[in-house]
Chains A and B, each alone.
Chain A
Amino acid sequence: MRKELIINDFLKEHSIINEPIYSIEFNELLNQKKLDEYLLDIKQQFEKLNIPTVIKKKCYGIIVEALENGMRHSLKVDHFDLIYHKLDIGTDLIELSFGNYIEEKDRPILEKHISLIEKEGYDKIKELMYTKASDGKPLSERGGAGVGIFDMAIKSKGNIKQKVFELNSKFYYFTHIKIK
């Protein structure tokens, strides 16, 4: 099955913004320079649209965590290393979507974290994140603290849907977030 069809199905099921006042979508190979350029554009767009501070900072934080995670954990194989992102700004809601192929060895821990986020409440997720961040262990080889997924769940206040799909004999991780 084509990746685009699965993403479209997932978005159809969860997305509720029909006519966004601003929308951007890409599926490309990201690096730090491209990320910085995109974040600068987004900051300017939020200013232009007078998005309240609390909302724009939440969205900004989620975009950084999700795209940095994508850059660190995406499958480093040609044609499978692209990072998908969509931002839709509606009149009273912002929707953020992210997707990338992952390494098979990362799948169990990722699914464990997704399951925890689905089961546990806001306070428990927060406790988990700060406990893990203060465990004294060094940052991972890929430079992450291993808590970005919890940070996204906290900032979205639980309005987060995540799934790992089996696709083309590989695994694709997709996230959809609503910010009100």
Chain B
Amino acid sequence: MENLHLDPTQNTPLINCDSKTNSITIEGESRPENVRAFYANLFEWLDNFEKLIYYAVSLSANEKQIELNFKLEYFNSSSLKVFMEIIDKLKKIEKGSDKIKLVINWYYEEDDEDILDSGKEFEKMTGASMNFISN
């Protein structure tokens, strides 16, 4: 399975999805002109990743960890909705096998109270446990 890498632009974040390390990173500023179209590749990658990780855990007794990293400077409210969907999708994948564990890391600038606050709201709304890491 191919990894997905999108370089950042002024209004879109860096996207890095790695099926070898089972990690997904969204970093920078997220306010694409068309949010749905921009994140379509990521959702397509997640669909393929879902099949791959279930196959991988079926062959091994070991637990697999999926790491989702948010390193956001700013995101608009349309991106917020998409991020909720990404978390929900990964939570469903985690629920599908007791050998899959989802880890969500939410990075924030020390004095950026809005980004930290948003992360806490994501945790509350999605029910996913998140690590809050100050840069």
> Mask for B8-40, Cβ within 8 A of A = 1, else 0?
001100000000000000000001011110000
Option from B10, B74, B112 in Cβ contact (under 8 Å) with A40: B10
Closest to B85 in A: A136
> Mask for B109-135, Cβ within 8 A of A = 1, else 0?
101111100000110111000000000
Determine the main DSSP class of B at the interface with A.
Answer: helix
Which of chain B's residues 61-83 have a Cβ closer than 8 Å to chain A?
Answer: 74, 76-78, 80-82
A147→B77 contact, CB < 8 A = yes
B124→A148 contact, CB < 8 A = no
> How many CB-defined contacts (below 8 Å) exist between A and B?
72
Residues of A within 8 A of B (CB): 32, 36, 39-40, 52-54, 57-58, 60-61, 64-65, 68, 126, 129-131, 133-134, 138-139, 143-145, 147-148, 150-151, 155
For the complex, give the distance between the alpha carbons of A134 and B80 in Å.
9
A133→B84 contact, CB < 8 A = yes
B36→A53 contact, CB < 8 A = no
* 9 pairs of residues in contact across A and B, judged by CB atoms under 8 Å: A32-B11, A52-B111, A53-B111, A54-B111, A64-B76, A65-B76, A131-B125, A133-B84, A139-B82
Chain B residues positioned under 8 Å from A53 (CB to CB)? 109, 111-112
Given the known A-B contacts A36-B11, A58-B114, are A134 and B74 also in contact in the complex, defined by CB atoms under 8 Å? no
For the complex, give the distance between the alpha carbons of A29 and B108 in Å.
34
Closest to A126 in B: B121
Residues of B within 8 A of A (CB): 10-11, 31, 33-36, 74, 76-78, 80-82, 84, 109, 111-115, 121-122, 124-126
Q: Nearest-CB distance from A41 to chain B (Å)? A: 12
Chain A residues positioned under 8 Å from B36 (CB to CB)? 138-139, 143
For the complex, give the distance between the alpha carbons of A126 and B113 in Å.
14
Chain B residues positioned under 8 Å from A150 (CB to CB)? 77
For the complex, give the distance between the alpha carbons of A106 and B10 in Å.
30
Chain A residues positioned under 8 Å from B124 (CB to CB)? 130
Chain A residues positioned under 8 Å from B34 (CB to CB)? 143
A148→B84 contact, CB < 8 A = no
Additional A-B contact list (19), CB under 8 Å, known A52-B111, A133-B84: A32-B33, A54-B113, A57-B112, A58-B114, A61-B114, A64-B74, A68-B76, A130-B122, A130-B124, A131-B125, A133-B81, A139-B35, A139-B78, A143-B34, A143-B36, A145-B77, A147-B81, A148-B76, A151-B77
For the complex, give the distance between the alpha carbons of A155 and B81 in Å.
17
For the complex, give the distance between the alpha carbons of A129 and B121 in Å.
10
Given the known A-B contacts A40-B10, A143-B36, are A57 and B74 also in contact in the complex, defined by CB atoms under 8 Å? yes
